[in-house]
Amino acid sequence: MKKILTITLCLLLGLISQAQNKLSLNDVIGLAKVKSIRSKQIENKYQNSYWRNFSYKRQFLPSLVFDGTLPEFERSISSITQDDGSEIFVNRNIISNRANLSVNQLVPITGGSIFMRSGLDNIQLSGNIESTTYLSRPVEFGYSQNIFGFNRFKWDKKIEPLLFSEAQLLKTEEVEALSMEAVNKYFDLLRDQLSMENAEKNFLNNDTIYKIGKGRYSYGKIAENELLQLELSLLNSEMAFEQSKLNFELSRQKIATFLGYSSQENIELILDTLVPNFEVNYNEALNYANQYHSEKVQQQREIFEAEMNVARVKSENRFNFNLTASFGLSQTADNIEDAYTSPQNQEFVSLGVRVPLIQWGLGKGRIKQAQANADLVNSIIEQEKIDFDQDIYEKVAGFNLNRKQLKVSERANEVAAKRFEVSKQRYLLGKILVTDLQIAQQEKDNALISYINAYRTFWQSYYDIRKTTHYDFESKTVISN
């Protein structure tokens, strides 16, 4: 009794295990989006863009920075100028400390930056001469600006948001592309699975027919040539069955590792014959594609980048002024308390100028090159827009056609299977030749492969439309990931 219960339990566990490994197309796509290595790569790529955008926004907020040297030590022999103008060499040991606390703020409109800083320096001198000195800077304000220079922040405010928007849209497209890859893996295994089952049936049918043929030959009802033909068909079907088992095993391992399982995972597929019942309108698809496809954002970004390059080259080949100004308070003493007593004004102003005088047309050539590149970018994008509209039309027309062809392939598969069964029965009754039976079997096998390929093509075009338009025409919602 115990043995029977153990066997029953093992059978039930085996059935449960098999049920868990029977996957539909939606199951495969869902697992691919969650468990596949490609899905992790898509998320990592998006996170890279997310944190780039995060850093871009944070650079315009005030930053608080501490910097210093705690401490710096130097031992050397240095020359010292005496009161009478002579110089002597003395041993010096210097320990210096420096600490600064600053608040920095970018000014995107002008491309400049402002700062507020407070600091304290200390120098301890020992050796032939011993002293301790403190230098305080209680408060200091400063501003730096390239007056006619290239303002990168102005262009970043145009380009960086487009980069992040492009990354968001591209993530959706890559997820749909992953679905297309999952469709391919699914139908690779399903084709080999059904081909293996079909090859096994062919082998069993040919074995039965060969045995019947041997009986007929022994009674002289068929010629030896026909019996040999039956035997050859049996041998060919056996080899085809063995090959189909190998193909199935290879495809099973590929889809298992693709879905994040062990290569030894037992997987069987279920063919869901229900397909979405809708047609796609070209104008509607084009409208959504123009709104949401990453290529449109990419084109706008490339135009801005080309214009930015022109502005940068122009600024590098004309006169520029660099202004740096600061105002603060400072004091020095031999102790910290006095170093902060009655601080004195401290001002600094610097105006640097750079004027290209003779370049023999170098600057002009660089500007013309940048402008020509910008014109090229615009012309390429104009052509891309025309190609994009044409591509949408082809995909929409292809999807609507594939849906109709799937129905035809499904019916052709049913007809071919039924014709083979009829031909087999007629051959067993001796009403047709073996060549007619073999033709019917070959047509059945071809119809099955065409049927699976039609399913593959339909679902490929289904997810391709979703990828291109970012729209689910079945549920009538915009796709977001």
Does position 348 have pLDDT exceeding 60, yes or no?
yes
Residue 59 lies in a domain: no
Distance CA 157, CA 388 (A): 28
- Phi/psi region, residue 255 (left: phi>0; alpha: psi -120 to 50; beta: rest), is alpha
CB 243 within 8 A of CB 219: no
One domain for residues 48 and 71? no
- Asked whether the predicted pLDDT for residue 11 surpasses 60, the reply is no
Domain match, 79 and 176 both: no
Q: How would you write 229-253 as a 3-class SS string? A: HHHHHHHHHHHHHHHHHHHHHHHHH
Residue 210: inside a domain: yes
Here the tokens at position 241 are: 């069955």
Summarize pLDDT for 237-251 with one digit per residue, the tens. 999 999 999 999 999
CA-wise closest residue to 212 among 197, 233, 198: 233
Grade residue 17 by pLDDT with cuts at 50, 70 and 90.
very low
Q: Same domain, yes or no, for 216 and 297?
A: yes
Give the orientation angle of helix 152-218 with respect to helix 294-316, to 10 degrees. Answer: 140
Per residue, the 3-state secondary structure of 421-479, as one string, reads HHHHHHHHCCCCCHHHHHHHHHHHHHHHHHHHHHHHHHHHHHHHHHHHHCEECCCCEEC
Question: Of 74 and 10, which is predicted with more confidence?
Answer: 74
pLDDT mean across residues, the chain = 88
Tell me which of 70-84, 138-152, 227-241, 396-410 is least confident. 70-84
- Residue 133: CB atoms within 10 A of its CB come to 15
In the predicted structure, residue 3 carries a pLDDT above the cut 50: no
Look at residue 387 in the predicted model and tell me its pLDDT. Answer: 95
- Residue 4 in domain: no
Which pLDDT does position 247 carry in this prediction?
Answer: 95
pLDDT for res 128: 67
Rama region for 430: left / alpha / beta (φ>0; ψ in -120 to 50; rest): left
Same domain, 327 and 387: no
Of 271, 289, 281, the C-alpha closest to 406 is 271
Decide if pLDDT at 7 tops 50: no
Residues 6+ apart with CB under 8 A from 319: 148, 353, 354, 355, 356
Whether residue 127 lies inside any domain: the answer is yes
**Does some domain include residue 7?**
no
User: Which residue carries 């292809």 as its tokens?
Assistant: 398
* 328, part of any domain: yes
| pLDDT value for 5 | 39
Tell me: pLDDT of 12 over 80: no
The first and second tokens of residue 63, run together, are 């930053």
Predicted TM-score (pTM) of the model is 0.82
pLDDT at residue 453, as a whole number: 93
Burial label for 108, CB within 10 Å (0-12, 13-18, 19+), is middle
Higher pLDDT, 389 or 15: 389
Q: Does one domain contain both 292 and 439?
A: yes
Within a domain: residue 13? Answer: no
Q: Taking residues 97-117, what's their average pLDDT?
A: 91
Q: What is the mean pLDDT of residues 343-369?
A: 84
d(CA 141, CA 326): 5
Contact assessment for residue 317 and residue 367, using Cβ atoms and an 8 Å cutoff:
yes
233 shares a domain with 128: no
Q: Does 246 reside within a domain?
A: yes
Q: Mean pLDDT across the stretch 427-450? A: 89
d(CA 154, CA 315): 14
Write b or e for each residue in 308-324: b if 16 or more Cβ atoms lie within 10 A of its Cβ, otherwise e. Answer: bbbebbbeebeebeeee
Number of separate domains in the chain:
2
The whole-number pLDDT of residue 4 equals: 42
**What is the pLDDT averaged over residues 31-42?**
94
Percent of the chain at pLDDT exceeding 70:
95
Q: Cα–Cα distance between 259 and 269 in angstroms, integer? A: 13
Q: What confidence score (pLDDT) does residue 257 get?
A: 93
For 259-306, what is the HEC assignment? CCCCCCCCCEECCCCCCCCCCCCHHHHHHHHHHHCHHHHHHHHHHHHH
Are both 284 and 381 inside the same structural domain?
yes
Task: Indicate if the pLDDT at residue 57 is higher than 80.
Answer: yes
Helix (H, G, I), strand (E, B) or coil at 377: helix
Say yes or no: 244 and 392 in one domain. Answer: yes
Contact at 8 Å (CB) between 182 and 29?
A: yes
293 pLDDT band (50/70/90 cuts)?
very high
Q: Are residues 242 and 172 in the same domain?
A: yes
CATH number at residue 29: 1.20.1600.10
Rounded CA-CA distance 195/314 in Å is 66
pLDDT of 473 strictly over 50 = yes
Looking at residues 345-369, what average pLDDT do you find? 84
Residue 14 has pLDDT above 50, yes or no: no
Phi-psi group of 480: left, alpha or beta (phi > 0 → left; psi -120 to 50 → alpha; rest → beta): beta
Q: Which residues, in sequence order, are CB contacts of 401 under 8 Å at separation 6+?
A: none
Domain range for 175 is 19-54+157-304+372-478
Does residue 459 register a pLDDT over 80?
yes
The pLDDT value given to residue 438: 87
Could you report how far apart the first and last alpha carbons of the chain are, in Å? 55
The verdict on 128 and 100 lying in the same domain is yes
Pair 275, 408 in one domain:
yes
Check whether residue 408 and residue 436 sit in a common domain.
Answer: yes
Between β-strands 87-107 and 112-127, what pairing exists: parallel, antiparallel or unpaired? antiparallel
Strand partners, 105: 114
- Residues 168-225 pLDDT 10s: 999 999 999 999 999 999 999 999 999 999 999 999 999 998 998 888 888 888 888 9
